[in-house]
Every structure is written in structure tokens, then in C-alpha cells.
Amino acid sequence: MQQQLTAKERMKIPRHHMIEQDPLERSRNFEEVNLGYTAKMAQEEALRCIQCPKPSCVEGCPVNIQIKDFINLIAEGDFLGAVHKIKEDNALPAICGRVCPQEEQCEQACVVGKRGEPVAIGYLERFVADYERKQGKIEYPTINKSTGKKIAIVGSGPAGLSCANDLVQWGHKVTVFEALHELGGVLVYGIPEFRLPKEIVRKEIDGLRKMGVEFVTDAVIGRTTTVDELMQEEGYDAVFVGVGAGLPWFMGIPGENLVGVYSANEFLTRVNLMKAYRFPEFDSPILDCRGKNVAVFGGGNTAMDAVRTSLRLGAKNAYIVYRRSEKEMPARVEEVKHAKEEGVQFKILTNPVEFIGDEKEWLKAVKLIKMELGEPDDSGRRRPVPIEGSEYIMDIDIAVVAIGNGSNPLIQQTTPEIETSKRGTIVVDSETMKTSKKGVFAGGDIVTGGATVILAMGAGRKAAKAIHEYVMEGKW
Amino acid sequence: MFKIVKAEFLAQDIKLFQIEAPRIAKKRKAGQFVIIRLDEHGERIPLTIADSDPEKGTITIVVQGVGKTTKALNLKETGDTIMDVVGPLGEPSHIEKFGTAVSIGGGVGTAIAYPTAKALKEAGNYVITINGARSKDLVILEEEMKQVSDEAYITTDDGSYGFHGFVTQKLQALIDEGKKLDFVLAIGPIPMMKAVADVTRPYGIKTVVSLNPIMVDGTGMCGGCRVIVNGQSKFACVDGPEFDAHGVDFHNLADRNKMYSVYEKEALEKFEHECKLDKKIEAIENAG
């Protein structure tokens, strides 16, 4: 059927939109917002791909998934073939199909998108990954003969998982150490259930386990065991550090320690990892948001996750307070759209000056100031400048600060030979992800600062390749 | 799963546990803590490591049953397990030869102060310990403390044992006797730690307290445990838990620690109700 269509005809097919839960309904539950394509929709959407001879979408993907080929397989109805094609380059398609910022990557590069809407590459990736899982016919890649080499991976987030995925296939004995009690890193403590169901993360990790990866929870490398001990006493030939971003930043304004001011990390961790939204069935509480005014400060995906979570916890008013304009928001377009549909109120070009509490130090209001955009700053975005005399008070009960993370210092404190930048991130060779310490590699947010799941996965794969060469050849 | 190899009550509601955790036992230094989670539905709570035995691969914690989690933990017996034990977390106590060092413990804080008192003694300090309890039957670790002290004092609020009064009164008495104190460590309830800081401040005696804010991950990721020290926000889990007592904003710490009191009460009531039901069922079964 595909051969019968010309490129022009294909480009005339309108993009299939995602089936979503009704905004009002979903803003009160934790079920996944996007419900996924049907098989018919997926095949039709795949036909929109004009099969460019030199597919620019592949260049746009940080892990260079063979997008053109997998889409062609979908068009032919070979959904399992399509997911296997993706898995040649990406271990976690069900996750990436949900959380990647495709509009800045593959879909931005899509030629079809130059004249209309790009092919929905992300939704197609998600469709085939879900198809495979629902069929229950998950095919695992063949594992090479054992090399006898032991690799330790520190952190079970996207960087660590993708690194483990490659290394185990090449025949190495891989152990992943996780500080928390649950595996998945930011995929489980950070990204909410309604955007990425935890069941999916668990299934992906089970897959790695079946392939032979060993997982150790409750192990804080830098405290429980150091990198040196892993290499000298426990016999690991190489170590990959993928511990993610660490300490949440606060704004340094008065009142930030009032009761009711959370970091986004804590707010999301309580809900996602500790299941506080099911208190008292689960023991960890979170301040009651029902009927309350909740303000989230920041404009990234984490801010959107937090504000949409607050709605689901029953917030009466849920605000995003962001100091630049909507155009500069780092959040994915889809997250902003979803937030607005669900009733989140956006206060852009606004910055907090002070949190105000009552006599028991409970938050009751925030003093805000209006901003305007001035000259571009180092990031290339126009710098927000406060408008003098524009301060006003907004009543709020809960504040969530989502302005990013600094670096976790635990590994560097105990392994000072690993060079770090002024910001505390680990310095690596950008091709091999080698750190300044022999045998130690790093990647993901601990290297880049807060970034995306797919960039972390790309880094994990780059490191895997270099680790393989290093342990096999012994040359640093 | 982490196995409990020894469980015994030291006083009413205060229980000592030895837990198999070889990696932590090997690593742990005085002043550090673990985070535990009892079961799938459990919360993560920090508990200071009172002692460890690297050879046996065990750590010791001493727990006062106050809320749901600590009360549920105190129902555990030898042979039972704890789902998660992670650590050692936090910065170890800063130990050096100060000269005369005073270790003050209030209630279960005595158990938390014990490893540091021991380390201070091993570092060659003249160690004075003052351990306070509400009454005689709540005094814990008296023998252990004596063994690491050059002078050991017990105080009780009701005068049923030792010095009648608060630990701060005993501390003040030592200062008034003209004892030159070079270092004070105080661990216990927030009002006690604040009171000790107030006593030593005018004399400029270096004073350290171990803080117990609410935590989740314990590795610096959530920032829930932030405390104000000398006007700056610090994370107790990675920067602490020990801080300069004279710089700590105890008022803020106390207020933040009350953040979930409504929920803690609800969880505890539910738990105690379920315990009662369990007992009733047991009684019916036994009668049957």
C-alpha cells in the first residue's frame, strides 16, 4: 500500500492527534494522560512519512534511532519488527516515546513538518513499544559470551540503564547500584505516574534483569561504598557514574524555610516514590492540597509535573510563576499545553521576592514582582528585569520551587581525583565520557546539569562503548 | 531485607536493635545515621547509628516509639527483618582532642550521643557525660556511658535518680564550679539542645548539636531537611547532621518538624486501632 502513495499524497494525510483523557477528568486522577494510538492510527500516521533518502530525523535523535526504517515497518504492519529496530539503538522506547522532547529533536528535523505538522515519531515509538509489552512477546537481544569483566554502574536512572543495556549484551557482568529503595532514578521519583506509569519503568528494568544485569538498591556510592572500594576491593574493572542531578536549588529569598515551601524534588518524590497521595495507606504524608492555592516557581518540565500533580492532589488554584515569557519556557510544548487544558494558571514575567508566613511559620502568601525582558543573557534568552514598584501579594498555601538542581557532592567528596567543574558537575571527555580518574566514566545530569532523559541515555551509550574498549584493550 | 539479630527494650518504649548490615557496619563513623523503611508502604526515617561491629557485620540503633513507624519498629523482635536500611549517611562527627569535652544526652539522645562520646574519649579528651531522663526508669545506657566517661552524671526531671533537674542545670553547675570546658556536644529534644546552646553561648564554649529534621532520601536530593545555620540554609543529610549550636535557628527547626503532626497523629491512631483489633482477634482465636 505504501508504494502506491506519492510523497505529495502522503503529506496530505493529516497528523493523528494523541487520544487523551478528558482534561477535567484527568486533572483529578493519576492515570496516564495520553492513551496512545490504535493500530489503525499508527499505520496511517506511519504512511505520512515520505521515507527521505537522507533522513534528517535520525540526525535529530540523540541516540540516532533508525526512525525511517521503524516507521516503514509500522506502515507495513510489522509492529514487532519496528520495536526491534528501535531497540537496536534505544533500550527504553516505551519511556522515550513518552518523555522525549521530540519537537526539539527528531520531529523538529522532520521534512514533512516543514510544510505542515511533522510525522508523530514519538507517538509511533510509544505505540510499538506498548504493542510489544501488551503482546507479552518481549524479545531480548542475544548476549555475547562472557568477557569476565565486571562493570559497576552507579545510579539506575536513564543514563545507568542504557549503559547497562549495552554492556550486558557485550558479555560483561554488570551491577547497578541505586541509593534509593526503588530502581529507575528520576523515572520513578521525578516523573509522575500520569506522564510515565511506573509499571512501564518496572517492566523495562525487569527486561534488563532477565538479560543478566544485577541490581543493588539501598547502596549510596560515596557513603556505603566508595568508587575506589568498588575497583580495588570488589574487583570492578570500570565504573560508570550516572547519579543524576543532586541538590535542589532554592532562590535565596526570605521565607524559603517556612512550612509549606517544598523543592520540586521533595514534592514529587513524596508523591511519586513514597505514594503520599495514597496516605494513610502509605505512611509518607504530603501537605493537604485540597482546596488550597499552590504556586510552582519555574518553567521547566519539572515545574509542569509539580503543578499538574498539585491539581491531582486537589488544589483549588494551581499557578506557574515564571520570570520570563512563555516562549522562553524550557518545558516541552505538550506539557505546557496539557497544564493549561487542566486549568493551571500561568503567571509569566513574574518573580517571587519573599515568602510570607504566619506566627507558626506556615506559609500564607508570596510577594511577587512583575518582570520585563531586557537584553539577551549568556543563555541567549532575553534577561528578565524587575519592574520597579510592581510588587504585589498573592495568597498561597503551598509553594514548590522548581528552578533546577546543583550537583550531588557525595561521589566527588570521597573520590577527589574525579575532576569537577565550578558548578560541581563531573568533567568528562565528550566523546568517551572518561573522567580524570582511570577506569571511571560518567554521564547524564551529573555531567550536563539538569537535562533530558534521552540525552542521559545517549551519554550512557557513549560511555558503554568507551568502557567496552577500555576493559577489553586495557588502554586508558 | 535486613535481619534483626538482637532486639531488647532498654526502657519503656526505648528499644535497641542490632541489624545485619555488613557494608554499613564497616563504613560507619560516629555521628552518622541510616535511613530505614519498614515495608512496602513504609516511610523513610533517619535513625542515628549508636554502635557497630564490623566483624559481626552489625549496626546498633536505639529507637523510641513515638510515631507510627517507630512504634511499629519497636514491635519487631530478633529474627524479624527491615525492608530497607541505607547508610551510613551524613558527615561523621568532627573528633579531635579538645581538652575537656562534655557530652549531653536527653532521653533517647543519650544513645545517639554515645558513639561520639566514645570517640571523644578515644581521641584523648577528658570526657564528662550528662544524661537526662524524665525519671529513673527511662535512664538508658548508664553503664556504657560510664565506661567512656571520666565523670558521668545522670539527671532526672522528677529527681527519682541522680541529679534532680535538667541537664542544663548540671552543665551550669559544672561551669559555676570553675571547670574549664572546651567542647560541648548536645543531642536530644529540640528545647534541650536550644537550652544547652543558650547556656554555653555567653562563655564562648564550642558547642555542637545533632539535628533531626524530617528527611526523605537522605542523600541531598530532596532538600526537605534544610535547617538554618548562621543565617544560611543547610541540608542536614549532607552538610550535617551536626552543626554549630550557636548558629542554629531552633525555632524554625521546631516549626518545620511539626509540619506533618496532623498526619502523624492520624497514622498513629489508625495503627494503634489496628493493633487493638489484632489483639482482639488473637484473643478470640485463643479462646476458640
Contacts of A410 in chain B (CB under 8 A): 219-220, 238
ipTM: 0.92
Among chain B residues, the shortest Cα distance to A256 is held by: B233
The alpha-carbon gap from A395 to the nearest alpha carbon of chain B, in Å, equals 19
What lies within 8 Å, CB to CB, of A41 at 6+ separation is A16, A127
Start-end ranges of CATH 3.50.50.60 in chain A? 150-246+406-473, 250-403
Q: Report the candidate in A321, A383, A377 with the shortest Cα–Cα distance to residue A350.
A: A321
B84·A269 Cβ contact <8 A = no
pLDDT at A92: 86
User: What residues does each domain of chain B span?
Assistant: 2-89, 100-257
What lies within 8 Å, CB to CB, of A282 at 6+ separation is A274, A275, A276, B41, B43
pLDDT at B86: 96
Q: B132 forms bridges with which residues in the sheet?
A: B106, B155
Distance of alpha carbon A81 from alpha carbon A95, whole angstroms: 18
Annotated binding site of B for [2Fe-2S] cluster: 222, 225, 237
Class level of CATH domain A150-246+406-473: alpha beta
B264·A262 Cβ contact <8 A = no
B267·A408 Cβ contact <8 A = no
Contacts of B220 in chain A (CB under 8 A): 246-247, 408-410
How does DSSP assign A354-415, residue by residue?
A: EEEE-TT-BEEEEEEEEEEEEEE-TTSSEEEEE-TT--EEEE-SEEEE-S-EEE--HHHHH-
B59–chain A Cβ distance below 8 A for any pair: no
Among chain A residues, the shortest Cα distance to B22 is held by: A224
Contacts of A250 in chain B (CB under 8 A): 223, 226, 233
Which of A247, A257, A274 is the closest to B220 by Cβ? A247
Mapped onto helix, strand or coil, the DSSP state of residue A277 is helix
Contacts of B68 in chain A (CB under 8 A): 283
Touching A: B residues 81-120, CB under 8 Å: 83-89
Tell which of A283, A290, A363 to mutate to test the B interface (max B CBs under 10 Å). A283
Distance of alpha carbon A184 from alpha carbon A92, whole angstroms: 12
Distance of alpha carbon A223 from alpha carbon B277, whole angstroms: 42
B48–chain A Cβ distance below 8 A for any pair: no
Among chain B residues, the shortest Cα distance to A267 is held by: B222
Q: Mean of the per-residue pLDDT values for chain B?
A: 93
Contacts of B260 in chain A (CB under 8 A): 285, 287
Give the pLDDT band of residue B60 (cuts 50, 70, 90).
Answer: very high
Which of A257, A280, A408 is the closest to B270 by Cβ? A280
Q: A384 forms bridges with which residues in the sheet?
A: A373
Compute the count of residue pairs across chains A and B with CB atoms less than 8 Å apart.
Answer: 119
A218·B85 Cβ contact <8 A = yes
B27·A225 Cβ contact <8 A = yes
A409·B84 Cβ contact <8 A = no
Contacts of B235 in chain A (CB under 8 A): 247
Among chain B residues, the shortest Cα distance to A230 is held by: B23
Class level of CATH domain B2-89: mainly beta
pLDDT in tens, B155-214: 999 999 989 999 999 999 999 999 899 999 999 999 999 999 999 999 999 999 999 999
The alpha-carbon gap from A220 to the nearest alpha carbon of chain B, in Å, equals 7
B233–chain A Cβ distance below 8 A for any pair: yes
The alpha-carbon gap from A275 to the nearest alpha carbon of chain B, in Å, equals 8
Which of B37, B251, B263 is the closest to A181 by Cβ? B37
Annotated binding site of B for FAD: 62-64
Mean pLDDT, to the nearest integer, of B41-50?
94
End-to-end CA distance of chain B: 35
Q: Are A30 and A312 in contact (CB under 8 A)?
A: yes
B232–chain A Cβ distance below 8 A for any pair: no
B261–chain A Cβ distance below 8 A for any pair: no
pLDDT at A3: 55
| CATH architecture designation of domain B100-257 | 3-Layer(aba) Sandwich (3.40)
How does DSSP assign A21-69, residue by residue?
A: --HHHHTTS-S-SB----HHHHHHHHHT----SS-HHHHHSTT---HHH
Which of A217, A223, A265 is the closest to B87 by Cβ? A223
What lies within 8 Å, CB to CB, of A357 at 6+ separation is A255, A258, A259, A260, A363, A364
pLDDT in tens for each of the 476 residues of chain A? 445 788 888 888 899 999 999 998 898 889 999 999 999 999 999 999 999 999 999 999 988 899 999 999 999 999 999 999 998 888 889 998 998 888 888 999 999 998 889 999 999 999 999 999 998 877 788 899 999 999 999 999 999 999 999 999 999 999 999 999 999 999 999 999 999 999 999 998 998 999 999 999 999 999 999 999 999 999 999 999 999 988 899 999 999 999 999 999 999 999 999 999 999 999 999 999 999 999 999 999 999 999 999 999 999 999 999 999 998 899 988 899 999 999 999 999 999 999 999 999 999 999 999 999 988 888 788 889 999 999 999 999 999 999 998 888 888 888 999 999 988 899 999 999 999 999 999 999 999 988 888 889 889 999 999 999 999 998 88
A256·B233 Cβ contact <8 A = yes
CATH topology for the A250-403 domain: FAD/NAD(P)-binding domain (3.50.50)
Tell which of B27, B49, B221 to mutate to test the A interface (max A CBs under 10 Å). B221
* DSSP β-ladder status, B81-82 and B151-156: unpaired
Distance of alpha carbon A282 from alpha carbon A279, whole angstroms: 5
B246–chain A Cβ distance below 8 A for any pair: no
Question: What is the widest separation between alpha-carbon atoms in chain A?
Answer: 74
What lies within 8 Å, CB to CB, of B125 at 6+ separation is B97, B98, B99, B100, B101, B183
Range name among A193-202, B225-234, B265-274 with the lowest pLDDT average: B265-274
The alpha-carbon gap from B266 to the nearest alpha carbon of chain A, in Å, equals 8
Mean pLDDT, to the nearest integer, of B119-146?
92
Which CATH superfamily does the domain covering A2-135 fall into? Alpha-helical ferredoxin (1.10.1060.10)
